[in-house]
Chains A and B, each alone.
Chain A
Amino acid sequence: MTAVAERAEAEPEAEEIPSFDVTLKISRFNPDAEGKPKPYWQEFTVTMHGTDRVLDALHEAKWHQDGSLTFRRSCAHGVCGSDAMRINGRNRLACKTLLKDLDISKPITVEPIKGLPVEKDLIVDMEPFFDAYREVMPFLVSEGQEPSRERLQSAEERERFDDTTKCILCAACTSACPIFWTDGQYFGPAAIVNAHRFIFDSRDDAGEQRLEILNSKEGVWRCRTTFNCSEACPRGIQITKAIAEVKQAVIRGRV
């Protein structure tokens, strides 16, 4: 008998957790449906509790109302980056958005992130996003012979790119960017963040190549500093600042 179960038996009057009803208004789309399917709205009303997140409400709808409701998720606490979606018009992670922080007197709208092809309901095709990421050489390049122990790096040098190491590739930033919506060729904020992470790493020797890539037609100069990306980032990365630092580095030719 576990401690928890014993306690429950001993104290049947243990506090009931208060519950409340919320309505989700979800954008549904299945290209395989009959006829010429189009996206449509569907409402689900579910009973939830105080510490629940939007992801819990989506699960409740899927698990007890409509199993065909489809979305990605994994870790459920904001570190894997699977469940970026538009919640009440803002890009958020469903697992990091608490229901109690939303206005539940009206339906909560949930849509797929914008700018990427919708595959089904809240699932988008992530390949264009990862293609842009892969194009900026998102890996350490170092010339010369490797040391036998670790490379030395001062705490200050390490701190220089700390913020951009936090990226979880959820695409909340890139799919919040109005430039990316209208020009899918633009690398987008996430790719620039991941370039920044290496450009400003003292151990890296490929900064100039990355700056050249980002100086191209679809590179950093497309950014119009609208700050949507910084607002959308669930990791709190100062993305617009990182992009500005990359722009500066391009102008100066080197970090």
Chain B
Amino acid sequence: MQTHSYDVLIVGAGGAGMRAALEAGPRARTAVITKLYPTRSHTGAAQGGMCAALANVEEDNWEWHTYDTVKGGDYLVDQDAAEVMAKEAIDAVLDLEKMGLPFNRTPEGRIDQRRFGGHTREHGEAPVRRSCYAADRTGHMILQTLYQNCVKQKVEFFNEYYALDVLLSGDPRTDENVRAAGIVAYELATGEVHIFRAKSVVFATGGFGKMFKTTSNAHTLTGDGPAMALNRGIPLEDMEFFQFHPTGLAGLGILLSEAARGEGGILRNSNMERFMETYAPTLKDLAPRDVVARAMANEVREGRGCGPNKDYVLLDLTHLEPAHIDAKLPDITEFARTYLGVEPYTEPVPVFPTAHYGMGGIPTNIKGEVLRNETDVIPGLYAAGEVACVSVHGGNRLGTNSLLDINVFGKRAGVAAAEHAQTVEYPELPEGVETPIVEQLQRLRDRPATEDRIADIRKELQETMDANVQVFRTDETCRKALADIKKLKKRYETVAVQDKGLRYNLDLLEAVELGFLLELAEVVALGSLERKESRGGHFREDFPTRDDVNFLKHTMAYKTLDGEGLEGTDIVLGTKDVVITRYEPKERTF
């Protein structure tokens, strides 16, 4: 076993992790540990753009952007954080341009901007052109640009190292002096366990969409960061809020950007009606994602779905000029051709909502510092990007605000982590901190062969989450999911892996990742059961309206010390107040 020491240790090399590294690197001895080569991260799959009120093509300002973010998030957004994000968005885009990002340009040579769901002028009057973009591969260009600058700055990466445990100096549930101490990581190539001691640790591990069956998420998005945090006693915030993106390729879940609608694409049902006119008369197809996803699911439920099984709706681009499609939406139209054999110039594309983005995650304040309860931070521990809940997305994230989030809060976390590291010494680490992980890996390897398979448990988890905790939820379905997860956790305790080796043992790591997913799915289902209202991406058919009296609160989920929690789980739920500065909650209409 090897031990390493760094001032700042960043876990994850997507947009948030690399943006943090670019800030921490020049200020402190920094390393990034990442389970994928950096350019493989799922930031690269983001398509449509990154919103900032540059006002390059029409009047706009950060206050309108803040308002849209708060309203889009169904008022569960912390408004101080949304304001920070909308203000710093402008520099975040300009920073990327200066780093070399090839944005599309206006005739004057400025960064071009286009419309995106929920982004409006004058507080909801009409859509505004706010999204800065590079064709429909903005995320790809952000990921490449950040990696290029990491190469330029000679950032140190540990590629294909899996972080499996976070080291703290105490238990955050009981020890008020607890602070970050490092990470236990597993080297894929050799099977060796490494201890990384650190003064500051930044979680930037991304999302956990693989708990769902139909998802736009990569196979590797298994929530490693939030799960290891939860297991060490760190709370998770608002995990019941998961975004289902309206336009996944039907049956596959592969994402087709909202930019398709921003460029003029229209959703139609089996009668070829533009049904969004009924659900959102002002913004129509560009209403926020939760509204559009529910409308689509409702059309299908009421029998107006398309195809042999009437189980999807259509995204119609056929009225757009092929040259315009080629210039603005080349990648996503190729997805339709490659994976469904549909020619978007002449045929509408079958689409249905796909699990896309976790609004919840590890709670942080606006500096990126991780909270251990409603108020207190864990010094030296930071989180940024999808893994974190600041909360700038509240109950529903607006399109493009994730690419913005990773840049604004990745930068903030990187700066704060480096500055903290300059003021402290390494915390003491007791002997044998790696033991729980080493023993867990050994157990998975040593178990006698079983009929049961990791893949089957994972598939059943994904199926119950799709069936019971998706766009529409009820008390009954959430309980069903919890019961299923409980059984799956039991099976997980006895299942064996087939690959017993040390070298590139992805069989073993898939098993570990499934363990993380099971932990998090339980929190999602439990939060969904206990939030007896409908808000943003969380829709309860048995409680179909928003209830600000009882639920205008963040949920904080804690793993209990004694294993006794709600509904037969080991989780208890608390709350945290929503920060409201400018905008009193109002009913959302679009």
Contact = CB atoms under 8 A, between A and B. Distances in A.
A149 B316 CA distance: 37
Nearest to B111: A150
Interface in A121-175: 121, 123, 126, 130, 134, 138-140, 142, 146, 149-155, 157-158, 161-162, 165-169
A18 interface: no
A134 B151 contact: yes
B455 interface: yes
B70 interface: no
A62 interface: yes
B480 to A, nearest CB: 9
B134 A62 contact: no
Interface string A1-24: 111111100010011000000000
B468 A166 contact: no
Given A68-B507, A119-B504, A139 B104 contact: no
Contact of B107 (A74, A139, A155, A201): A155
A79 B338 CA distance: 13
A64 interface: yes
B507 A139 contact: no
A158 B102 contact: yes
A71 B504 CA distance: 9
A68 B472 contact: no
Given A1-B474, A5-B467, A146-B98, A166 B137 contact: yes
Contacts of A120: 503-504
B575 interface: no
A153 B466 CA distance: 46
Interface string B81-111: 0000000000001100111101111111111
B308 A3 contact: no
A238 interface: no
A70 interface: yes
Contact of B301 (A7, A32, A75, A76): A7
A88 B111 CA distance: 43
B309 interface: yes
B502 interface: yes
Nearest to A120: B504
A30 B110 contact: no
A75 B47 CA distance: 13
A84 to B, nearest CB: 11
27 contacts: A2-B468, A2-B470, A3-B471, A15-B308, A15-B309, A62-B455, A62-B507, A67-B497, A67-B507, A70-B506, A74-B36, A79-B140, A79-B331, A80-B218, A119-B189, A120-B503, A126-B37, A138-B148, A150-B97, A152-B109, A155-B105, A161-B102, A165-B102, A165-B141, A165-B144, A166-B140, A168-B140
A154 B109 contact: yes
A189 interface: no
A2 B340 contact: no
A192 B36 CA distance: 24
Interface of A: 1-7, 11, 14-15, 30-32, 51, 59, 62-64, 66-68, 70-71, 73-82, 96, 98, 119-121, 123, 126, 130, 134, 138-140, 142, 146, 149-155, 157-158, 161-162, 165-169, 198, 201, 203-204
Interface string B12-44: 000000000000000000000000110111101
Nearest to A17: B251
Given A151-B98, A154-B105, A1 B335 contact: no
B300 interface: yes
A13 to B, nearest CB: 10
A14 B480 CA distance: 24
A70 B506 CA distance: 7
B45 A123 contact: no
Contacts of B252: 51
Contact of A123 (B44, B102, B504): B504
Contacts of A6: 301
B220 A74 contact: yes
Contacts of B254: 77
Contact of B455 (A64, A82, A154): A64
Interface string B456-474: 0000000000111011101
B251 A51 contact: yes
Interface string B531-573: 0000000000100000000000000000000000000000000
Contacts of B501: 30, 32, 68
Nearest to A129: B37
A138 B151 contact: yes
Contacts of A80: 36, 39-42, 44-45, 218
A57 B151 CA distance: 35
A203 to B, nearest CB: 7
Interface in B440-464: 453-455
B211 to A, nearest CB: 15
B453 A64 contact: yes
A118 to B, nearest CB: 11
Contacts of B331: 79
B456 to A, nearest CB: 8
B39 A81 contact: yes
Interface string B423-454: 00000000000000000000000000000011
Interface in B313-354: 331, 335, 338-340
B270 interface: no
A68 B308 CA distance: 39
B338 A3 contact: no
B45 A77 contact: yes
A73 B509 CA distance: 13
B503 A31 contact: yes
A7 B300 contact: yes
Contacts of B108: 152
Interface in B394-429: none
A68 B111 contact: no
Nearest to A97: B338
Contacts of B37: 82, 126, 130, 169
Contacts of A31: 503
B311 interface: yes
Nearest to B331: A79
B112 to A, nearest CB: 8
Interface in B519-533: none
A235 to B, nearest CB: 9
A139 B93 CA distance: 17
Contact of B36 (A76, A82, A161): A82
Nearest to B213: A4
A144 to B, nearest CB: 12
Contacts of B5: none
Given A51-B252, A126-B37, A150-B97, A2 B308 contact: no
5 A-B pairs closest in CB distance: A140-B100, A67-B498, A63-B455, A152-B109, A67-B507
Contacts of A79: 44-45, 137, 140, 331
Nearest to B152: A139
Nearest to B254: A77
